[in-house]
Amino acid sequence: MEPVRTAAVIHLDRLAANVENIKKRLGPGVALTAVLKGDAYGHGIAGVYPTLRRCGVQGYAVAYWEEGAALRAAGAETEPIHLLAPIMDGELSKCVEYRLAPSIFSVEQAKKLDELAAAAGTAAPVQIKIDTGMRRIGFDADDVSGTVKAVAEIAALPHIHIAGLFTHFSRADELDCPETEKQLARFNAVLEALKAAGVDMPPVHVSNSPSILLRPEVQMDAVRGGDVLFGLCPVDEDKWPGMGLQEVMTWETYVAMVKTVPAGEPVGYGGTYVTKRETRIATVPVGFCDGYSRRLSNRGKVKIRGQLAPIIGRVCMDQFMVDVTDIPGVAAGDRVELLNGEDLSILWMADTLDANVDEIVCGVTKRVPRIYVD
């Protein structure tokens, strides 16, 4: 690997192991859809797709059409790609161009897509979204008759192919949650009404990452695996260690300079830390412009030469300082671990910042190159 200031290292062997872990949890005939929104949760769509393909993943989901186009460019020429987020009418032509299945929750938008598909001489796939309680997007499951009428109207469009029908749980990470049971009951009521109305049923799916781990009974025709692919904890932390999934991303940099300052010296912007003794300070050339949160000022830590070093002073835009007084021999050029999947895990950083694990990895900016290793 060529020398770089900093790198997010993507461990593809761990990704492959996570896929196998997930597949072993699935019932016969249940398909795994790999959710790669947020540029594969910050891991890079182009970099992880070949591994997912080798692992036998045959379906994908992203948020927006640009990510779908990136997945096609990465080599996903024939696999179905589902757009989970809303799409503007003016972007529907991109669905036809890149053969993407948008989440549809409007008859009017489906008709516009039908016209575009007709002009292109093709049939456009769509995924019908049912809102069962997330209250985000989707046909209203509480209005069963209205929803059935709308879906039947879409199904009758000559250049539309309904590739799936789905909903999304808002609290699947909570075991025995009454809200999840309500959402499932609403979804099943819509399914039964559609069958009674004679609508040909497409594959249906409700299971997201926490459902894959905690609720095998709701797998239906397919599951949508997102953050679990990358070893990111979507469930109660007490249950997580036994799941056997590994964080795929680590993050590293190097020591840029080491200096010794006397006791009583303020460190960094605002002098928020004052040395209590003669202190050896190592400067790390990473900052909040790289996605290393400023909220880690005076509370984060890194690992150098196998030992933890606390951050002192404020994290700057491009640099921060750590106390290495108790770590013998630290010198410029030494490797610095920012995230290592162990005592400096993504989960640790999320807990420290009162954040979501997905927020941590998606927050590592494009200024940090992704380096892929097997």
Q: How far is CA 55 from CA 16, 38, 58, 210, 249, in A?
A: 6, 21, 9, 21, 18
Amino acid, single-letter form, for residue 189: A
Query: Catalytic pick from 111, 259, 269, 366?
Result: 269
Amino acid, single-letter form, for residue 96: V
Q: How many helices (H) and strands (E) does the chain have?
A: 11, 20
Backbone angles phi, psi at 183, to 5 degrees: -65, -45
Rounded CA-CA distance 337/6 in Å is 10
**Whose structure tokens read 């920012």?**
338
User: Under DSSP, is residue 215 helix (H, G, I), strand (E, B) or coil?
Assistant: coil
Q: Where are the beta strands (DSSP E) in 142-256?
A: 160-166, 204-207, 222-225, 249-254
**Whose structure tokens read 């797998």?**
219
Rounded CA-CA distance 316/328 in Å is 26
Q: Is 259 a catalytic residue?
A: no
Backbone angles phi, psi at 273, to 5 degrees: -130, 135
Q: Is 254 a catalytic residue?
A: no
Query: Catalytic pick from 37, 94, 129, 303?
Result: 37
Rounded CA-CA distance 241/11 in Å is 19
Rounded CA-CA distance 203/364 in Å is 35
Residues with catalytic function = 37, 269
